[in-house]
Amino acid sequence: MTAISIEELRKVFGTFQALDGLSLSVETGKVFGFLGPNGAGKTTTIRILTGLAHATSGRAWVLDKEVTADEQEIAKHIGYLPEEPAFYAWMKPGEFLDYVGRIFDFPPSERSARIKELLALAGLEEAAKRRIGGFSRGMRQRLGLAQALFNRPEVLFLDEPTSALDPAGRKEVLEFIDQLRGQCTVFMSTHILADVERVCDTIGIINRGKLVTSAPRDALLAQYAIPAFEVEVDAADGAGLARWGESMGKESWVKTVLVDGLVARVIVSDVEIAKKEMMASITQAGLILTRYEVVRPSLEDVFLQLVGEEEAQR
């Protein structure tokens, strides 16, 4: 079954085309990662699907209801967490959730039970007597998720839910999202590849308003399962590794080179040539190796490969 369907969606802001014929579908019950660089059209897509913006052309359905025709009906069955949720800082979390429950016309007894349930789910029971103004960013995001879930949505839209969080906050929010698996369909936009790889069942990659690909996470990794070579050097060789990476990027059998401090990750188009040539080039560059490894490709490797190919075709 399909929870979300999009056909040839376009959105134009003046001379800027945010969405350029976007088409995709999301299966019911999946955690769908909508991945793309900043400005790719992720937020625009979510705003259209939630009824907060209107497409220039194209059609979209949520739970078999067309977005432009059934906005009010759809709103009853979805939840939405914007990238930067706003709260009344003087409220306590229970008071804020009570306010949300009143908006959805929950009767007092059901509202009270739902608040207790959501505070437990969000891990905010111990913070129930604190004011929201004193919450950390991670706590506010978890409270935002709780309010998005108040009406027991069948589809939950999350726009960059871990953006700007510290590692502890990201871990908290991702664990929360992981708990939602099977309870509802989650449509999560992000530019953080590690988050998608950790919690999403299916991944759609968007770039410049167009869908690059959409597939189950494991199938996507398997399809582009070109091994990556990781090279780590001695602490004194950081500058030399950067120069080596730049020269390697010019080789015909190399697709991408990512250098991060003392570690270089090399994606190749021909593994056999790489095995023969790479060690020789490292020796010639005079680098002192501390690690040389052939590793399984990551989602980051796939993303750079796909988006890089699309940019090259422009």
**Given the structure tokens 């309010």, which residue do they identify?**
147
Read off the pLDDT band of 224 (50, 70, 90).
Answer: confident
pLDDT band at 312 (very low <50, low <70, confident <90, very high): very low
- Beta strands across the sheet bearing 78-81: 78-81, 155-159, 185-190, 31-35, 202-207, 210-216
Alpha carbons 125 and 92: distance in angstroms, whole number = 11
What pLDDT, on a 0 to 100 scale, did the predictor assign at position 122? 87
What domains, with CATH codes, occur in the chain? 2-216 (3.40.50.300), 226-295 (3.30.70.100)
Task: Tell me the helices (H) and strands (E) count for the chain, helix number first.
Answer: 11, 14
Per-residue pLDDT, averaged over 278-298, amounts to 89
Q: Say if residue 46's pLDDT is above 80.
A: yes
Q: Which residues pair with 101 in a beta bridge?
A: none
Rounded mean pLDDT, 68-74 = 82
Task: Please state the separation of Cα 268 from the chain's center in Å.
Answer: 26
Give the residue from 226, 233, 225, 236 showing the smallest Cα distance to 281.
Answer: 233
Per-residue pLDDT tens over the stretch 172-223: 888 888 888 888 999 999 888 888 888 999 999 999 999 999 999 888 877 7
Q: Measured between alpha carbons, how far is 34 from 211 in angstroms, rounded to an integer?
A: 10
Pairing outcome for strands 2-13 and 57-62: antiparallel
Per-residue pLDDT tens for 239-274?
Answer: 999 999 999 999 999 988 989 999 999 988 888 899
pLDDT at 55: 93
Give the integer Cα–Cα distance in Å for 292 and 143: 44
The pLDDT of residue 227 is above 90? no
Say how far apart CA 172 and CA 142 lie, in whole Å.
8
Helices (H), the chain: 42-49, 71-75, 93-103, 108-121, 137-148, 167-179, 193-199, 217-223, 238-248, 271-285, 299-312
Helix axes 137-148, 108-121, angle to 10 degrees: 140
- Of all residues in the chain, the percent with pLDDT exceeding 90 is 62
How far, in Å, are 173, 174, 199 from residue 170 at the CA level?
Answer: 5, 6, 12
pLDDT tens profile 18-33: 999 999 999 999 999 9
Those residues with Cβ within 8 angstroms of residue 152's Cβ, 6 or more apart along the chain or in another chain: 184
